[in-house]
Amino acid sequence: MLPALYIGRFQPYHLGHLAATKWILDHEDKLIIGVGSAQYSHTLDNPFTVGERIEMILATLEEEGLLSRCIVIPIPDIGQHALWVQVVKQYCPSFSRVYTNSPLTRRLFIEAGIEVREIPMFERDRYDATHIRRLMLEDGDWESCVPKPVAKVIKRIKGVERVKELIKNDKYVHK
């Protein structure tokens, strides 16, 4: 049986993503986790590199005992929506279906004739990457929103400091 594909930006990989991963694995034997927007980093919306995001995910999967059932693949954006599914297929091993809540991703895969399933939202108000990055900016409790291995990676790479520098840069650029 082919694995399923779960696509997200994971900026950062949080407890909602982990709950979604576990939920999908309750329905699938194997899972490809596609780390989207792979070429972007060091911006407010995408502060972490694809390598850092993959580290976060792999460390979490290992701690949760899920690593043997998952592979993690970087997937770039190409700026041409009509061609993007073909790029995803080039980067990933064959997959049976896609799990996503992104309306655009959903539409693109449906138009390509690939089955798409939605994922339940797990405490969406709390487990939202934009909210978590805002907590980082405001010295809030972002750590309670991410798995412990993710917090370790963010601390090691000085991710909170990076996000704070990026907001300064954003304010400077948009004056």
- What per-residue confidence (pLDDT) applies to 129? 93
- At 77-121, the pLDDT tens digits run 998 998 999 999 999 999 999 999 999 999 999 999 999 999 998
- What per-residue confidence (pLDDT) applies to 170? 60
Write down the domain spans for the chain. 4-173
Report, as an integer, the average pLDDT of 65-78.
97
Q: Long-range contacts made by residues 82-89, C-beta under 8 angstroms, separation at least 24?
A: 82/108, 84/108, 85/109, 85/111, 85/112, 85/114, 86/112, 88/5, 88/7, 88/34
- At 30-68, the pLDDT tens digits run 999 999 999 999 999 999 999 999 999 999 999 999 999
Token pair recorded at residue 77: 């954006």
Report, as an integer, the average pLDDT of 5-22.
97
We find that the CATH architecture of domain 4-173 is: 3-Layer(aba) Sandwich (3.40)
- What per-residue confidence (pLDDT) applies to 25? 98
CB 67 within 8 A of CB 58: yes
- What per-residue confidence (pLDDT) applies to 171? 53
Could you give the percent of the chain with pLDDT greater than 90?
87
